[in-house]
Structure 1
Amino acid sequence: MNPLPPVVAALFIVIVGLEVAFSLGARGIGGGAEAVGWRMGALERFAFSGPVLDWMLETGQFPVEHVIRFLSYPFFHASFTHALFAGIMLLAMGKMVGEAMGNLAVLAIFVVSSVTGALVYGLALDTSMPLFGAFPPVYGLIGGFTYLLWLRLGQLGEQQVRAFSLIGILLGIQLLFGLLFGGGMDWVADLSGFVAGFALAPLLVPGGWQKLKARLRRD
Structure 2
Amino acid sequence: MDASPDLPRQGRVPVFNLPGIVTASIAVIAGIHVVRSVLPDSFDLSVLLDLAFIPARWTASLDPSRAADIVRAAGEAAGDPAISAARQEFARYLVSDPSAMPWTFVSYALLHGSWMHLIFNSVWLAAFGAPVARRYGALRYGLLALAGIVAGAGLHLVLDPESAMPLVGASAGISALMAAAARFVFQPPPPFAAAAPWHLPPRPPLQTIPELLQNRTAMLFLGVLLGTNLLFGLLALPLGGSEGPIAWDAHLGGFVAGFFLLPLMEPRGRR
TM-score (normalised: structure 2): 0.63
Secondary structure of the structure 2 residue equivalent to 1:85: helix
Matching residue of 2:221: 166
2:41 to 36, 39, 55: 36
Mark the runs of 5 or more structure 2 residues left unpaired by the alignment.
1-13, 65-97, 187-204, 239-243
More displaced 10-residue stretch of structure 1: 48-57 or 132-141: 48-57
**For residue 28 of structure 1, what is the aligned residue in structure 2?**
none
The aligned residue for residue 120 of structure 1 is 155
For residues 268 and 226 of structure 2, what CA distance do their matches in structure 1 show?
31
How far residue 42 of structure 1 moved from its aligned partner, in angstroms, is 1.9
Q: What amino acid is aligned across from residue 143 of structure 1 in structure 2?
A: A
- SS of corresponding position for 2:176: helix
Match of 2:22 in 1: 8
The structure carrying a bigger helix percent of its residues is: 1
Distance change in 2, residues 1:42/1:189 (3 Å) = same
Residue identity over aligned pairs, in percent, reads: 31
Structure 1 equivalent of residue 55 of structure 2 = 50
Equivalent of residue 105 in structure 2, options 66, 70, 81? 70
Q: Are the counterparts in 2 of residues 147 and 202 from structure 1 also a CA contact under 8 Å?
A: no
Query: How do 1:142-157 residues align onto structure 2 when only pairs under 5 Å count?
Result: 142-149=178-185
Pick aligned residue for 2:33 from 8, 19, 26:
19
From 135, 139, 158, the counterpart of 1:100: 135
C-alpha separation between the residues in 1 aligned to 2:232 and 2:18?
A: 31
Residue type at the aligned position of 1:4: L
| Deviation of the 1:101 alpha carbon | 1.6
* Residues 92 and 149 (structure 1), Cα distance of their counterparts in 2 relative to 1, 3 Å cut: closer
More moved, 117-126 vs 3-12: 3-12
2:28 and 2:53 mapped to 1: Cα distance? 18
Residue 14 of structure 1 and its aligned partner are, at CA, apart by: 0.9
After TM superposition, list the pairs within 5 Å mapping 1:73-84 onto structure 2. Answer: 73-84=108-119
Give per-residue Cα distances to partners, 1:165-198, cap 9 Å, x unaligned: 2232233334554548465360101011000001
Checking the alignment, whether the CA contact within 8 Å between 2:57 and 2:164 is kept in structure 1 is no
Unpaired runs of 5+ residues, structure 1, are 26-30, 212-219
Q: Is the 8 A contact 1:142 1:194 kept in 2?
A: yes
Task: State the Cα deviation string for residues 109-166 of structure 1 (Å, max 9, x = none).
Answer: 1111111110110112132222110100000001111222475667xx7823642322
CA distance in 2, matches of 1:123, 1:132: 17
Q: What displacement does 1:39 show?
A: 3.6
Give the superposition deviation at 1:206. 3.1
Q: Is 1:200 equivalent to 2:255 in the alignment?
A: no
Distance 2:53 2:264 in 1: 28
Q: Is 1:70–1:114's contact at 8 Å kept on the other side of the alignment?
A: yes
Paired positions, count: 196
Measure the CA separation in 1 of the matches of 2:249 and 2:51: 19
Give the whole-Å Cα distance in 1 for the aligned partners of 2:166 and 2:143.
24
* Equivalent position SS for 2:261: helix
Give the letter aligned to residue 24 of structure 2.
A
Change in Cα spacing, 1:100 to 1:207, as seen in structure 2 (3 Å) is: same
Alpha-carbon distance in structure 1 between the residues aligned to 2:115 and 2:43: 14
Residues 1:129 and 2:165 are matched in the alignment: yes
Kindly state the Cα deviation for residue 68 of structure 1 after the two structures are TM-superposed: 0.7
Give the aligned partner of residue 214 of structure 1. Answer: none
**Corresponding residue to 1:141 among 171, 177, 180:** 177
Partner Cα separation in structure 2 for residue 193 and residue 82 of structure 1? 17
- Counterpart for residue 215 of structure 1: none
Cα contact 2:237–2:245 (8 A) shared by 1:
no
Cα distance in 2 for partners of 1:160, 1:152 equals 12
